[in-house]
A and B are shown apart, each in its own frame.
Chain A
């Protein structure tokens, strides 16, 4: 897949800017992937919980099968208030579960 990654991005970004736009999209794609990789290593190395480790691995596998991730990230970060409220509700529950359940 890596050998024709530029073509994939070119295809995906037809309606948007070319050239520099694709360059920056590729940069962010590699940034996302390296972040996920480093994050998984970090979780596997430091977290004592098996569930968390498995969870991180599953998420990593899931994301790796759905590259390119950049467009999904962009779609999840629009100005819409629905998305923000969804994530806020999720965060509130997550914080309470983490602090009270103590993963």
Chain B
């Protein structure tokens, strides 16, 4: 049993407190700016100093003294809500807080300071942290709901007809997925009497084969997972959200949904460990999303839309790792999630820069950008190489591990598919690169006032991070692999 670690709740509670404060100080731009920057430093700092362990909320301990009448199948249960913090959570939290920091800095730099908007960013940060940390299935559900509403609010704040539509659709399907997750949780609670994920997985193993009730719960939770991570039937809705938010916020949204994908897939695999059909189904949806996402990305003539479909298809690639179901595959999937959010964030920041500098992201109208902003063009080329898995960048390491894992799992065909898909991703983004930076005959005016030094700094830092992880992959990968093995899924 792990020790109680005091600082874990602060990762969720501090962003919430700060969100309340910046919402309170709305229209007082200087205070909002000051509080945001100070709290960001704190947010990045907390995950680093927090010790590994669990946190028992309200101090309710693990107990073994309960009567037979309760019919609980295992000898000891957690009484209250529990959060757990391990190596994977630490890595995910650090990446999440740093990328949130970059997005917030970009927002502040563009003079879009609005306390309410900042509050929504902080609430979505808190919700995704809670989802990553939660070891309690109902608490997980509560925070997914907050995340959905907060993300919709971030899109609504753009105040254009398209963004309203996208957010509205996102909320409508959010109700469907929320209802199905909640019903799944209710069925599990009714038939096993537990909400803690660790306990629930032990109880389900002790209870033998899944009952029909349990099977329905699996189906409903899987539907919710597909929505939260933007896989096949929901890929349009997710890409719509990415497309219609401000690009620097899309960089944040894709991080959140990929990490939610990882967290919820881990929950599903822990609760229903040993249920092989779930893995095959996840694999099927993942492959389908990857293919459809890249096919759609190849067709687009608008940078933001193109990038949002690439983001969706890369989420599918993360899910492929989970679908393989071996510890090696799952670790490769998580590793790919981390690598991919970094390179995807670079591309979205570049989109934000292009949007500010040229006032449009339509590829037909853009051109000759390399003469205007050579640095950004160069970084975009590097990011394209990074996201399509070219050594020495980070995605190469994770895609290579994915291919190896698929060969080990006895499905080498998937390896071929992964290679094909990285080629397709490369073609899609290099097309955008050519059309923005090299194509002769530009039809847009260059906004001389936009210098974008901060965006340039951010993308250079991120590409260096990609390079660093690509050169020393074991620094990140080994803790993930050990963690996944220790979960025993």
Chain A interface residues toward B at CB < 8 A: 16-17, 20-21, 23-25, 27-28, 31-32, 34-35, 38-39, 41-42, 45-46, 70, 73-74, 77-79, 81, 83-84, 87-88, 90-92, 95-96, 98-100, 102
Contacts and interface: CB of A to CB of B under 8 A. Distances in A.
B173 A84 contact: yes
A35 B435 contact: no
B434 A20 contact: yes
B216 A100 contact: yes
A50 to B, nearest CB: 17
Of listed A87, A99, A100, residue having the most chain B CB within 10 A = A99
Contacts of A32: 291, 295
Closest 3 CB pairs of A and B: A87-B233, A95-B219, A28-B298
Given A42-B411, A73-B292, A99 B216 contact: yes
B215 interface: yes
Interface SS, A side: helix
Contacts of A79: 165, 236, 240
A27 B297 CA distance: 11
Contacts of B223: 91-92, 95
Contacts of A46: 410-411
A84 B298 contact: no
B212 interface: yes
Contact of A88 (B215, B234, B435): B234
B416 interface: yes
A20 to B, nearest CB: 6
B414 interface: yes
B226 A24 contact: no
Nearest to A81: B169
Interface string B133-145: 0000000000000
Nearest to A39: B287
B277 A77 contact: no
B37 interface: no
B389 to A, nearest CB: 16
B298 A98 contact: no
A61 to B, nearest CB: 19
Contacts of A23: 427, 431
Interface of B: 165, 169, 172-173, 176, 180, 212, 215-216, 218-220, 222-223, 226, 232-237, 240, 277-278, 281, 287, 291-292, 294-296, 298-299, 301, 364, 410-411, 413-414, 416-417, 420-421, 423-424, 427-428, 431, 434-435
B298 A100 contact: no
Of listed A32, A70, A87, A91, residue having the most chain B CB within 10 A = A91
Contacts of B414: 42
25 contacts: A16-B301, A23-B427, A24-B428, A27-B423, A27-B427, A31-B295, A34-B417, A38-B417, A39-B287, A70-B295, A73-B292, A73-B296, A83-B236, A84-B173, A84-B236, A87-B233, A88-B233, A88-B234, A95-B281, A98-B277, A99-B219, A99-B277, A99-B281, A100-B215, A100-B219
Contacts of B416: 34, 38
A41 to B, nearest CB: 6
A24 B420 contact: no
Contact of A74 (B237, B278, B296): B296
Nearest to A27: B427
Contacts of A39: 287
Contact of A31 (B176, B222, B424): B424
A91 B296 contact: no
A28 B411 contact: no
Nearest to B300: A24
Given A84-B236, A99-B219, A27 B298 contact: yes
B440 to A, nearest CB: 13
Contacts of B291: 31-32, 35
A96 B184 CA distance: 12
A12 to B, nearest CB: 12
A77 B296 contact: yes
Nearest to B283: A42
B431 A74 contact: no
Contacts of A41: 413
A25 B216 contact: no
Contacts of B431: 20, 23-24
Contacts of B435: 20
Nearest to B421: A31
A30 B5 CA distance: 53
A28 B297 CA distance: 9
B231 to A, nearest CB: 10
Contacts of B295: 28, 31-32, 70, 73-74
